[in-house]
């Protein structure tokens, strides 16, 4: 989670921009490349239902890495975290509750 947290009531001491070293970025990039390679490799083999699980799992890891480091989410306050995660929750709701209609409709 965020390394720096700011209490809501003290919104006037704002954070300085956090400068991340290029070495961190290079490591992150290498990791992203390796993960991309793994995704492509996995897709060429049949693991049944695990294919989609692995594909989405890896995509989520990659997305998290991009958000945490490239987008500096790691260094953001709780407020930013809240508004970064809440849309994902709503997305899950949209997919989940719509599916609860569509799939129970198809196979009662």
Query: Helices 50-65 and 22-43 meet at what angle, rounded to 10?
Result: 170
Task: Choose which of 17, 34, 74, 78 interacts with another protein (CB under 8 A).
Answer: 17
In Å, how far from its chain's centre is CA 107? 33
Decide: is 9 part of the binding site for another protein (CB under 8 A).
yes
Work out which of 20, 34, 53, 78 binds another protein, going by CB under 8 A: 20
Decide: is 1 part of the binding site for another protein (CB under 8 A): no
> What gap in Å lies between CA 49 and CA 106, rounded to an integer?
21
Measured in degrees and rounded to the nearest 5, phi and psi for residue 3 equal -80, -30
- Sites of contact with another protein (CB under 8 A): 8-9, 11-12, 14-15, 17, 19-22, 25-26, 28-29, 32-33, 36, 39-40, 42-47, 51, 55-56, 58-59, 62-63, 66-67, 69-72, 76, 79-80, 83-84, 86-88, 90-91, 93-95, 97-106, 108
């Amino acid at each position: 989670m965020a390394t720096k947290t700011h209490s809501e009531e003290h919104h006037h001491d704002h954070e300085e921009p956090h400068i991340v070293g290029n070495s961190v970025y290079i490591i992150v990039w290498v990791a992203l490349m390796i993960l991309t390679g793994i995704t492509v490799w996995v897709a060429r083999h049949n693991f049944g239902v695990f294919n989609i699980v692995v594909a989405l799992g890896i995509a989520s890891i990659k997305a998290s890495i991009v958000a945490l480091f490239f987008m500096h989410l790691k260094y953001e306050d709780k407020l930013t975290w809240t508004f970064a995660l809440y849309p994902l929750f709503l997305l899950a709701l949209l997919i989940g509750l719509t599916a609860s209609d569509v799939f129970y409709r198809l196979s009662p």
